[in-house]
Structure 1
Amino acid sequence: MKPPTAPTLPPLPAVPPLPAVPTAVAALAALTAALVLTVHHDGYFTDAAGLFLRYAACWVLFALALLALRRVPTDRVVPLLLAGTLAVTATGLVAPPRTSTDSYRYAWDGRVQSAGISPYDHAPQDPAPARLRDPWLFPTGAACAGPDRAPIPGGGPVPHCTRINRPAVHTIYPPVAEAYFLAVDQLSPHGARHKPLQIGAGLLSLGVSGALLLILRRRGQDLRRAAYWAWCPAVPIEAVNNAHVDVLGVLLAVTGLGLVAERGLRRRAAGGLVLGAAVATKLMPAVVLPGALSGVRRIRDAAAVLVPAAAFTLLSYLPYVLLSHDSVLGYLGGYVDEEGYDDPSAGSRYALLRLALPDSWTLPVLLAAMTGVSLYVMLRGDPGRPWSGALLVTGWAFALLTPGYSWYALLLIALVALDGRWEWLGLALAGAAVYLLAPVFGHRPALSATAYGAAALVIVVAAVLRRRWETGRPGAGPRPETAGGGQRPFDDRIRNS
Structure 2
Amino acid sequence: MQPPRPGREASPTPYGTRTACRAGPSQGRAPARVGPVSRPCPDPTDPPLEPPAPGPAIREARPGRRGGCRTFGSTVATAALLTALTTALVLTVHHDGYFADPAGLSWRYAACWALFGAAVWSLRRAPARHVTALVLAGGIAVAAAGLVAAPRTSTDSFRYAWDGRVQGAGISPYDHAPADPALTALRDDWLFPPREHCDRPDLSALPDGGCTRINRPQVHTIYPPAGEAYFLIVHGLSPDGVRHEAFQAGGAVLAVATALVLLRVLRRRGDPRNVAWWAWCPAVAVEAVNNAHADVLAVLLSVVALALTVRHRAVGGAVLGLATATKLLPAVLLPGALSGVRRPRDFASTLLPAAGVLVALYLPYVLLSDSSVLGYLGGYAEEEGYQDAASGNRYALLRLVLPDSWALPAVLVGMVAISLYVIRRGDPEHPWSGALLGTGTAFLLTTPGYSWYALLLVALVALDGRWEWLAVAVAGAAAYLTSRALPGAGTVMYGAAFVAVLVGHAFRTRRAHPGPGALAAPVD
Return the TM-score normalized by structure 2.
0.85
Deviation readout 1:446-477 (Å, 9 max, x if unpaired): 33321100001010011011101101189x9x
Taking the aligned partners of 1:285 and 1:28, their CA distance within structure 2 comes to: 30
Gaps of 5+ in 2: 1-65
Taking the aligned partners of 1:189 and 1:473, their CA distance within structure 2 comes to: 64
Q: Is residue 262–residue 303 contact of structure 2 (8 Å, CA) maintained in 1?
A: yes
- Report whether the alignment pairs 1:418 with 2:472: no
What is residue 471 of structure 1 aligned with on the other side? 513
- Report whether the alignment pairs 1:238 with 2:254: no
- Report whether the alignment pairs 1:205 with 2:255: yes
What is residue 46 of structure 1 aligned with on the other side? 100
- Give matches, 1:308-319, under 5 Å: 308-319=353-364
From 380, 385, 391, the equivalent of 1:335 is 380
Taking the aligned partners of 1:448 and 1:59, their CA distance within structure 2 comes to: 17
- Offset at 1:314? 1.1
CA root-mean-square deviation: 1.9
SS of residue paired to 1:282: coil
Q: Is residue 238–residue 246 contact of structure 2 (8 Å, CA) maintained in 1?
A: yes
Q: Is residue 222–residue 375 contact of structure 2 (8 Å, CA) maintained in 1?
A: yes
- Offset at 1:315? 1.2
From 73, 81, 102, the equivalent of 2:156 is 102
Taking the aligned partners of 1:473 and 1:181, their CA distance within structure 2 comes to: 55
SS of residue paired to 2:331: helix
SS of residue paired to 2:339: coil
- Give matches, 1:27-42, under 5 Å: 27-42=81-96
Taking the aligned partners of 2:288 and 2:113, their CA distance within structure 1 comes to: 16
- Give matches, 1:449-488, under 5 Å: 449-472=491-514
- Give matches, 1:140-151, under 5 Å: 140-151=194-205
- Offset at 1:80? 1.1
From 209, 212, 222, the equivalent of 1:162 is 212
- Report whether the alignment pairs 1:300 with 2:345: yes
- Offset at 1:25? 0.5
Taking the aligned partners of 1:453 and 1:261, their CA distance within structure 2 comes to: 34
SS of residue paired to 2:513: helix
Residue type of the alignment partner of 2:208 = G
Residue type of the alignment partner of 2:299 = V
Report runs of 4+ in structure 1 exceeding 6 Å deviation.
Answer: none
Gaps of 5+ in 1: 1-13, 477-488
- Report whether the alignment pairs 1:399 with 2:444: yes
What is residue 273 of structure 2 aligned with on the other side? 224
Deviation readout 1:32-75 (Å, 9 max, x if unpaired): 00000000000101001000100000000000001110001001
Taking the aligned partners of 2:515 and 2:88, their CA distance within structure 1 comes to: 40
- Give matches, 1:21-420, under 5 Å: 21-155=75-209, 160-219=210-269, 221-262=270-311, 267-420=312-465
Residue type of the alignment partner of 1:397 = A
Residue type of the alignment partner of 1:355 = L
Aligned residues: 455
- Offset at 1:210? 0.8
Taking the aligned partners of 1:473 and 1:78, their CA distance within structure 2 comes to: 37
- Per the alignment, do residues 107 and 471 of structure 1 end up closer, same or farther by CA in structure 2, a change over 3 Å counting? same
Out of 410-419 and 341-350, give the one that drifted further: 341-350
Deviation readout 1:101-152 (Å, 9 max, x if unpaired): 0000000000000000000000000011110000000011222121011112
Q: Is residue 394–residue 448 contact of structure 2 (8 Å, CA) maintained in 1?
A: yes
- Offset at 1:374? 0.6
Q: Is residue 480–residue 490 contact of structure 2 (8 Å, CA) maintained in 1?
A: no
Taking the aligned partners of 1:473 and 1:101, their CA distance within structure 2 comes to: 53
SS of residue paired to 1:20: helix
Residue type of the alignment partner of 1:24 = T
Taking the aligned partners of 2:372 and 2:418, their CA distance within structure 1 comes to: 33
Taking the aligned partners of 1:270 and 1:217, their CA distance within structure 2 comes to: 21
Deviation readout 1:406-446 (Å, 9 max, x if unpaired): 0000000000000000000000000101111222233xxx3
Taking the aligned partners of 1:40 and 1:449, their CA distance within structure 2 comes to: 28
Residue type of the alignment partner of 1:197 = F
Taking the aligned partners of 2:429 and 2:486, their CA distance within structure 1 comes to: 45
Taking the aligned partners of 1:388 and 1:257, their CA distance within structure 2 comes to: 10
- Offset at 1:364? 1.1
Residue type of the alignment partner of 1:181 = F
Residue type of the alignment partner of 1:139 = P
Residue type of the alignment partner of 1:375 = L
Greater RCO (Cα-Cα under 8 Å, separation 6 or more): 1
Residue type of the alignment partner of 1:468 = R
Q: Is residue 482–residue 490 contact of structure 2 (8 Å, CA) maintained in 1?
A: no
Taking the aligned partners of 1:154 and 1:357, their CA distance within structure 2 comes to: 45
Residue type of the alignment partner of 2:386 = Y
SS of residue paired to 1:93: coil
What is residue 486 of structure 1 aligned with on the other side? none
State the percentage of identical aligned residues: 61
- Offset at 1:17? 4.9
Taking the aligned partners of 2:233 and 2:301, their CA distance within structure 1 comes to: 17
Deviation readout 1:206-236 (Å, 9 max, x if unpaired): 11101101111122x1100000000000001
Residue type of the alignment partner of 2:335 = P
- Offset at 1:154? 2.2
Taking the aligned partners of 1:379 and 1:360, their CA distance within structure 2 comes to: 30
- Offset at 1:366? 1.1
- Report whether the alignment pairs 1:439 with 2:484: yes
Q: Is residue 479–residue 491 contact of structure 2 (8 Å, CA) maintained in 1?
A: no
Taking the aligned partners of 1:80 and 1:167, their CA distance within structure 2 comes to: 43
Return the TM-score normalized by structure 1.
0.89
